[in-house]
Amino acid sequence: MVSKTEETQLNRLENQVDNGGGGAWEYLCLARKLKVRRPEKVLKYGLSILNDSKKRSALGPEEWTLYEQVAIAAMDCQCLDVAKDCIKVLRKKFPESKRVGRLEGMLLEAKGLWGEAEKAYSSLSEDNPLDQVIHKRRVAMAKAQGNISAAIEWLNKYLEIFMADHDAWRELAEIYVSLQMYKQAAFCYEELILSQPTVPLYHLAYADVLYTLGGLENLQTAKKYYASTIDLTGGKNTRALLGICLCTSAIGQVSKGRNKEDKESPELQSLAAKALEKDYKERADDKHGLLTCVLRSLKI
Amino acid sequence: MAEDLVLDTAIRDWVLIPLSVVMVLIGILRYFVSKLMRSFQVPDPKIVKEGQVIVRARNLRAAANFIPPKPFRSRRVYFSNEENGLLFVPKGQAQNAQAQMFSDPNMAMDMMKKNLSMIIPQTLTFAWVNFFFSGFVAAKIPFPLTQRFRSMLQNGIDLSTVDVSYVSSRSWYFLNLFGLRGLFSLILGEENATDDTQRMMQMSGFGFDPSKSLSAEKDGLDIVQHEWALPKFEHRAEAVLKKLVS
């Protein structure tokens, strides 16, 4: 995930290049380092560098990395001819390379030739059973074909070996949520929280999943995680605030007769409601009426 | 004994400086040769998996207080279960790792290559120094030393009355050997093959890494007490919101 400073830097560079201020190469390097996905810009500026033979030779050995980057961006924009040309150049320079083989597999994927892409990837992965990118491409392919269960299977196999890859856990969590397999999604989010405990996004998602699962214990846990999200984001996360209100009222409904919940944080709900109202007044005054209705209905 | 020997400046010109220059050049040569000779080592899937397991177990230990107690317990069992837990290494297998390392032809070749690239230039240079630059005083060390260093530093000089601070060129060779490491990391960037001293230290702590760290992680995990930090968060959220709202 990209940090805020890095994102602003990237955007600044992008603006600079857009307005003709030069610095295209730095922009491309930064985009590559941060692994962000800006295919149109990368394609435009990358091609402008590559087509100009003077600039191209000025790059030296970085030229080939640029070819790879432009090829991937072209595939993203569906400019398959550009991609094919770039890959041809790379193949001529590195005839035995697995990296180029991967790119060719991706080109087959982009064309929609799933069977051949699968064949290419399996032959590549036989030589190189530990190549992470090939595994991930397989998952992506299964997902693109709509075969979600196969995607889950591949992803699980990948995670059995590379269990410290938190991006993969995140992908798996999202897939499970889309399939409404909330228990498994909760497990994935726990893994994410373990590896990066200070990222509020994961706490929030975990709380959402727990709230959806329902049941008194889950609701209480969800409330706690909404609270931790609020703490980590300094109270600015609207979703967490609403989550608190919803959770408290749901807990109140579920444990109607039993009164043991009051000890922990009785004010949290009212504070959250107040913070929400203040926020809405500042940012979306027209929707404020809607909010007050919702809050009123929750205060049962 | 306290008189100062005046050393000919020719010694400085023709011994000290050429010796340093030669060692630097040999270091650079070795760096490039090692780059050429470096074979791509296919990582063993088992070792990669173990490495990842260790990272995951470490994360579990570090952030254990952020997840509810039940998931923590189930994960702990998953990792340290006696029969099929991930971190559990049966006793017999643990010993084999090192033996296996030496019998595995590829790895043995690799180690030999690395050692050779280190030993041969050292030996050659040492022999050269001894042949050409022995039998005279090369330099004076600025601080006084005890007599015990005499045999080490004054090897070619057979006079026992010379102050120990006056050393032969062999000691200048050793000084360069250990001292040029810093220079090499400046010139050649990090990761250069001339880092002999580091490699020597690494060689002694070799092999055996996976199973030992696995059992270390297992022990660490067994020790961890789970103290769920989330209830505290509720209070903190309250405080944050209070400040926000007021």
- DSSP secondary structure, A281-295, as one string: HHH-GGGHHHHHHHH
Q: Strand, helix or coil at B140? A: strand
- Mark which residues 30-89 of B lie under 8 Å from A by CB: 42-43, 45, 48-49, 52-53, 55-56, 59-60, 62-64, 66-68, 71
Contact A162 B48 (CB under 8 A): yes
d(CA A263, CA A28): 55
Contact between A190 and A170 under an 8 Å Cβ cutoff? The reply is no
Mean of per-residue pLDDT scores for chain A:
84
d(CA B45, CA B65): 31
Contact between A171 and A143 under an 8 Å Cβ cutoff? The reply is no
Q: Smallest CA–CA separation between B162 and chain A, in Å?
A: 58
Contact A161 B45 (CB under 8 A): yes
Distances (CA, A) of B94 to A116, A198, B83, B108, B179: 43, 36, 15, 19, 39
For residue A222, is pLDDT > 80? yes
A chain contacts of residue B242, beta-carbon cutoff 8 Å: 267, 271
Interface A–B counts its CB contacts (< 8 A) at 100
Q: Smallest CA–CA separation between A23 and chain B, in Å?
A: 27
What residue has token string 């959402």?
Answer: A208
- Determine contact: A194 vs chain B, CB below 8 A: yes
Closest CA to B38 of B172, B191, B166: B191
Distance of CA B242 to the CA centre of its chain: 52
**Number of helices and strands in chain B (H, E):** 11, 2
Nearest CB to A224: which of B48, B56, B231?
B231
Contact B236 A224 (CB under 8 A): no
Taking residue A117's Cβ as centre, other Cβ atoms within 10 Å add up to 21
B chain contacts of residue A187, beta-carbon cutoff 8 Å: 71
Contact A234 B53 (CB under 8 A): no
Contact between A109 and A137 under an 8 Å Cβ cutoff? The reply is yes
Q: pLDDT class for A176, splitting at 50, 70, 90?
A: very high
Q: Strand, helix or coil at B167? A: strand
pLDDT of residue A173: 92
Contact B234 A223 (CB under 8 A): yes
Q: Which residues pair with B139 in a beta bridge?
A: B167
d(CA B99, CA A228): 50
B chain contacts of residue A278, beta-carbon cutoff 8 Å: 244-245
A chain contacts of residue B59, beta-carbon cutoff 8 Å: 164, 194-195
A chain contacts of residue B238, beta-carbon cutoff 8 Å: 227, 265, 267-268, 271
Nearest CB to A224: which of B43, B71, B233?
B233
- Determine contact: A96 vs chain B, CB below 8 A: no
pLDDT of residue A125: 84
Mutate to test the interface with B, among A97, A131, A193, A228 (most CBs of B within 10 A): A228
Q: Annotate B87-132 with three-state secondary structure.
A: CCCCHHHHHHHHHHHHHCHHHHHHHHHHHHHHHHHHHHHHHHHHHH
Contact A231 B55 (CB under 8 A): no
pLDDT of residue A209: 92
d(CA B130, CA A230): 72
Contact A227 B59 (CB under 8 A): no
A180: left (phi over 0), alpha (psi -120 to 50) or beta: left
Contact between A49 and A56 under an 8 Å Cβ cutoff? The reply is yes
For residue A233, is pLDDT > 60? yes
For residue A4, is pLDDT > 80? no
What residue has token string 């809050």?
Answer: A295
B33-60 pLDDT, tens digit each: 777 766 666 667 777 777 788 788 888 8
Q: What is the largest CA-CA distance in chain A?
A: 79
pLDDT of residue B192: 53
| Predicted TM-score (pTM) of this structure | 0.72
Distance of CA B92 to the CA centre of its chain: 29
Contact between A213 and A250 under an 8 Å Cβ cutoff? The reply is no
Contact between B64 and B45 under an 8 Å Cβ cutoff? The reply is no
Mutate to test the interface with A, among B60, B230, B234 (most CBs of A within 10 A): B234
A chain contacts of residue B236, beta-carbon cutoff 8 Å: 227, 231
Residues in chain B predicted with pLDDT less than 70, given as ranges, are 1-3, 37-43, 82-111, 114, 156, 160, 188-211
Contact between B233 and A224 under an 8 Å Cβ cutoff? The reply is yes
Contact B68 A221 (CB under 8 A): yes
Distances (CA, A) of B217 to B55, B66, B212: 9, 19, 9
Tokens of A58: 């000025």
Contact between A282 and A258 under an 8 Å Cβ cutoff? The reply is no
Q: Strand, helix or coil at A113? A: coil
Tokens of A88: 């041809």
Q: Which residues pair with B33 in a beta bridge?
A: none
Tokens of A110: 């982009």
For residue A264, is pLDDT > 60? no
d(CA A205, CA A267): 24
Contact A235 B240 (CB under 8 A): yes
What's chain A's Rg over C-alpha atoms?
A: 25
